[in-house]
Structure 1
Amino acid sequence: MDPLQRAPQNQASPLVGHNVATADHALMDAVTAFGGEHASDIVAALTPMGSLAGSAEAREHWHLANENEPVLRTTDRFGNRVDEVEFHPSWHWLMTQGVGFGLTAEPWTSRSPVAHLQRAAGFYTWGQVEQGHMCPITMTYAVIPALRVDDAVAKQWTAGLASRTYDFGLRSPDTKAGLLAGMGMTEKQGGSDLRTNQTQARPTEAHGEYLLTGHKWFTSAPMNDIFLVLAQAPEGVTCFVVPRVRPDGTRNSVSIVRLKDKLGNRSNASSELELNDTWAVRLGDEGRGIRTIIEMVSATRQDCILGSAGIMRKAVAEAAWHTSQRSAFGATLADQPAMINVLADLAVESEAATMVSLRLASAVDKPHDAHEQALRRIGLALEKFWVCKRTPFMVAEALECLGGNGYVEESGMPLLFRESPLNSIWEGSGNVNALDVLRALAREPESLDAWITEVGSVRGENRHLDATVDDVLTELADLSDIEVRARRIAGRMAAALQGTVLLQHGDASVADAFCASRLGGDWGGTFGTLPRGLDLAGIVSRTTPHLES
């Protein structure tokens, strides 16, 4: 044999041919715990999705969709304004699968008692394939609770948004087999301070119809069919439904100024929009736009947590897989004590995020349970702050496990790293969510009661968790300079909730490691510093993917 044709020595193969869902022990634990008697149905739905997600085909589309970014076409060849975005075929393949798996608005129309949990598990699973296309999928799911402020408006749009058919293109919604939704809230002068929005809404003679004029600084997925938009009506900030095609079949006056040149999430088109007498329908009462659209924001925050948990899982899976096949200094990397500690630590972070994200998603299936809804309200702000904030730190360490191989684009780890800060910024950055926690505690005492009840359910099982809960309650008893301590409080509450879910439903070794390190402080502040006496090898074994036979 030609020496140049010999099989490469000591090289890891790409992580393909595994089931992203069923090989994930934390995900399966969460589905079993929260799905109850319906868990087997959820696993049955996840299995083909997980198999496709772990395929070489899906991995190729991940890279191609990001190497071939969307292109804005503002005019056609004759100079007519068209404001269209062109995408690579890989984007359309990804969207076809994601919509086809029912990850958009279908749960809101389903009779299944675990529809939202199943969708959340699917979102977490399929999002590990490619993160950019999950943005329009998220917004299409999240728009429904906001639309339900007006029964007639919700009835008009829900069926199309809940469709499992991806039907790309700017046409009359009545002629399309499936619809997608977007959102335009922020403006350049205010950002998160939505009350400073300057877009103006002028009522027409038709009841509930307005013309909007203004500029939107950040609108993701401008190719979608409808958008929720905030604008200043005579009575204050109001929410509006803006379709890209008007009821008479003509294009609405929505101009795409440019697509954003972003750090990551490059497969997805994020844009600036200009509205010039743009036709819109009011959603909810004038002056209550922020309260109306906040329902959409809550649902998108849920997906931010799920998305970050999925990024974490993909990162640790890649690290565990690579190190299980690569040798150095006389032993397989994954068998060396220092690397075992790193991989176990990464796995603990990932499993905590997975379990808590599915726990909060399961509450959506219990709309009439006061405890579940109160816990979800505060839990989303807590874990949006904490899980999303932890992700870049965690992904950077996972990338390092691959060494130089992890720094080259072919590995996919740079793609994952560039994506990792996104969810901490979207739908409220760290400070916004930490302050939202304080507002919830002040305005909705039942949210604190729900947190206390939840973490109190395991009182006495772990001294580190008990001490953390006591520390939080001491912090909350002192209201002086509480905003300065907002992040500290939010982080401790979030970690305590994660520890609780792990103790209740997770792997015992993972729960012990989490509580000792994240809650007990027996941790060096970087990954790979878990204390002695823990089952690190067992944790690593749980997290290492295995190929399908």
Structure 2
Amino acid sequence: MFSGDAALVEAVRRHTSQTDGEHAVHRLAELGRLAGSAEAQRWGAEANAYPPVLRTHDRYGHRVDEVEFHPSWHRLMDVAISFGLAGGPWREDSKVSHVMRAAGFIVWSQVEAGHGCPVSMTYAAVPALRTDPAIAAEWVPRLTSTTYDFGLRPPTEKAGCIAGMGMTEKQGGSDVRANTTRAEPLQAEGEYLLTGHKWFCSAPMSDVFLVLAQAPGGLTCFVVPRVLPDGTRNVFRIQRLKDKLGNRSNASSEVEFEGTWARRLGPEGRGVPTIIEMVAMTRLDCVLGSAALMRQAVAQAIHHCRYRHAFGSALVDKPLMRNVLADLAVESEAATTLAIRLAASFDRAGDEQERAFRRIALPVSKYWVTKRCPGHVAEALECLGGNGYVEESGMPRLYREAPLNSIWEGSGNINALDVLRALRKEPGCLDAFLAEVGAARGADRRLDQAVHGLLTSLSDLEGVEARARRLVEQMALVLQGSLLVRYAPPGVADAFVASRLGGDWGYVYGTLPREVDTAAIVTRAAAAFG
């Protein structure tokens, strides 16, 4: 699942030195072999088929608020944690740790996407926890451990911990400033008692949670452990698990706090700024997760069409089917290339230009790549015909998962508006974005024209909110086009630019221009099959 993905291998090598790159490729190849094994694929299927079960009370009627998982869930988590997909970049002294972790996340998510939630939450929690050096000193070593140690026990007795989050409430949703959960200060400095509800609480069996609540000074971020330092359990009442469209293996929950002990993270009233870096990390994982789904979908479609014969030859040799497969492959490669470029910006944390680029490119990419995913997976499913609609094919599971990343960590509108916010308040972000896109200037006339069209759109911001989605779409396409023109094989870049930017493209997949070498594109995407 790694070595056979040419776009992913090339992206890792592009953003690493020769020495670091060889090490990364070697480790990722090992993970890819495991991910593609029958054993790991069975783990993914079982974790999805046997979803988590909530136990609110024990046999004596006492509240325990525990969630039980199938053993295959724990096997998936064990591999993810041990490979460093949760805490690896924060513990390794490497300039490529985020790139390597991102590639690993794409590979391992293709086994089963649901368990990526607690992995991603743990990864994202670390930057927020570093707001308070004392809290960071206590929790960061636990969250960056490469040992998966499941169960509700005192953190001091565990070899490793994972993190969850409780931000949104039913009356506010994305508008977290409308939260009503109260935080009442105790006499001890920085300690509070929380009372209220959380409509979505990620990974409720985690060891520690970041929670937003209204303190006397305004919306504030808090650290909520499930087990208190004295070994007793914190008040953390799991009311129910969400019955979701997809993401079935993951235990999304509703929780109630009632005198729940918490520690303040950051100043009162600064809850949103405290978690802002966490949001960036989870948005990155939305892009990575969608890229993983798209890669798995097109891989399944190409594999089926190579071995399925109809009307006298293999489906992959039919010109129209090959056009569909090539179009899907181009979209997948564009998503992967962009996702790893974003991860590389985190490895250049000290570079101000990279920070500015990341600030605007993340919401742009989160909006576009996650929006492209559902239609992409649907088209790939159709390539299998009726077999694709049957559960045993695995395609329905991909299809149910596909819409999630567009909703999680801010829906499409939220991300589009965040791009406008960056344009208005941080003008350096646009300069950094245009510098990245401009690196391909002169290489393709159609790309240059698309950039000119984007600049025209940016020059007239009258009533821009109503057309924010169109603007962000333009930004995403020219960014992907620039990356592919610079780094992808000419055939892939030409197919993308001719269709997505050149105007010769229909509404659905499979409408690439006639001059595109679809056979070469499909062969590149099918490298995993030999």
Q: TM-score, normalised by structure 1?
A: 0.95
Are 1:388 and 2:370 matched, yes or no? yes
Could you tell me which residue of structure 2 aligns to residue 144 of structure 1? 126
Structure 2 counterpart of 1:125: 107
> Which ranges of 4 or more aligned residues in structure 1 deviate by more than 4 Å?
none
2: CA distance, partners of 1:426 / 1:48:
30
Q: Is the Cα contact below 8 Å between 1:236 and 1:286 reproduced in 2?
A: yes
Report the counterpart of residue 372 of structure 1 in structure 2: 354
Q: 2:432 maps to which residue? A: 450
Counterpart residue type for residue 216 of structure 2: P
1:14-163 superposed matches below 5 A = 20-37=1-18, 38-163=20-145
Shift of 1:36: 2.8
What corresponds to 1:10 in structure 2?
Answer: none
What residue number does 1:206 align with? 188
Give the aligned residue type for 2:110.
Answer: Q
Alignment of 1:186 with 2:168, yes or no, is yes
Query: What is the CA distance between 1:26 and its match in structure 2?
Result: 0.3
**How much has 1:435 moved relative to structure 2?**
0.4
Structure 2 partner of 1:276: 258
Secondary structure of the structure 2 residue equivalent to 1:397: helix
1:395-443 deviation per Cα after TM superposition (whole angstroms, max 9, x unaligned): 0000000001111001100000000000000000000000000000001
Q: Take 2:460 and 2:29, find their aligned partners in 1: how far apart are those partners?
A: 49
- 1:55-98 Cα deviation digits (max 9, x unpaired): 11111111111110100000000001000000011111111111
Question: Would you say the 8 A contact 1:317–1:545 is kept in 2?
Answer: no
Q: Which moved more, 1:235-244 or 1:98-107?
A: 98-107
Secondary structure of the residue that 2:465 maps to in structure 1? coil
Selected match of 1:530 from 477, 493, 512 = 512
Instruction: Select which of 409, 417, 425 maps to 2:399.
Output: 417
CA distance in 1, matches of 2:460, 2:114: 42
Match of 1:6 in 2: none
- Match of residue 434 from structure 1: 416
* Cα distance in 2 for residues equivalent to 1:32 and 1:247: 44
CA drift at 1:547 = 4.5
Q: Deviations over 1:20-71 (max 9, x none)?
A: 0000000011011111322111101101100000011111111111110100
**Partner of residue 251, structure 1:** 233
For 1:250, the aligned partner's letter is T
Residues of 1 paired with 2:446 and 2:226: CA distance? 53
The aligned runs of 1:456-471 (5 Å cut-off) are 456-471=438-453
SS in 1 for 2:294: helix
In the TM superposition, residue 295 of structure 1 has moved relative to its aligned partner by: 1.2
Identity score, percent: 62
In structure 2, distance between residues paired with 1:81 and 1:545: 52
- Residue identity in the other structure for 1:34: H
Please say if residues 6 and 527 of structure 2, whose CA atoms lie closer than 8 Å, have aligned partners that are also in contact.
Answer: no
After TM superposition, the score normalised by the length of structure 2 is: 0.99
**Of residues 312, 319, 331 in structure 2, which corresponds to 1:337?**
319
SS in 2 for 1:483: helix
Find the aligned partners of 2:216 and 2:362 in 1 and give their Cα distance. 33
SS in 2 for 1:418: helix
Q: Distance in 2 between matches of 1:504 and 1:244?
A: 48
- Please state if 1:356 is matched with 2:328: no
Q: Which amino acid aligns with 2:278?
A: M
Q: Secondary structure at the match of 1:485?
A: helix
Other-structure match for 1:496: 478
CA distance in structure 2 between the partners assigned to 1:516 and 1:40 by the alignment: 34
Cross-structure match for 1:295: 277
Check conservation: 2:303, 2:529, Cα contact below 8 A.
no
- Following superposition, the deviation at residue 105 of structure 1 comes to 1.2
CA distance, structure 1, for counterparts of residue 177 and residue 392 of structure 2: 44
d(CA) in 1 for partners of 2:473, 2:137: 40
Which of 326, 330, 333 is equivalent to 2:308?
Answer: 326
The 10-residue stretch of structure 1 (349-358 or 143-152) with the greater mean CA deviation from structure 2: 143-152
Question: For the Cα contact (< 8 Å) 1:210–1:279, is it kept in 2?
Answer: yes
SS in 1 for 2:212: strand
Query: What SS does the aligned partner of 1:35 have?
Result: coil
Distance 1:451 1:460 in 2: 17
CA distance in 1, matches of 2:152, 2:140: 18
Q: Distance in 2 between matches of 1:284 and 1:151?
A: 10
In structure 1, C-alpha distance between the alignment counterparts of 2:103 and 2:297, rounded to whole Å: 17
RMSD of aligned alpha carbons: 0.8
Distance 1:546 1:374 in 2: 36
Which letter does structure 2 place at the counterpart of 1:22? S
Mapped partners of 1:352, 1:265: distance in 2:
24
Is 1:172 matched with 2:154? yes
Give the distance between the partners of 1:239 and 1:464, measured in 2 at CA. Answer: 47
- Distance between the aligned counterparts of 1:59 and 1:410, measured in 2? 12
Partners of 1:338 and 1:292 in 2: CA distance: 51
The answer (yes or no) to whether the contact 2:98–2:344 under 8 Å persists in 1 is: yes
Q: Which runs of 5+ in 1 are unaligned?
A: 1-19
> Does the aligned pair in 2 maintain the 1:321–1:545 contact within 8 Å?
no
Deviates more, 1:459-468 or 1:140-149: 459-468
CA contact (8 A) 1:235 1:287 kept: yes
Structure 1 counterpart SS, 2:258: strand
Moved more, 504-513 or 282-291: 504-513
Matching residue of 1:14: none
Q: CA deviation at 1:151?
A: 1.0
Rounded to whole Å, the distance in 1 between the matches of 2:394 and 2:142 is 34
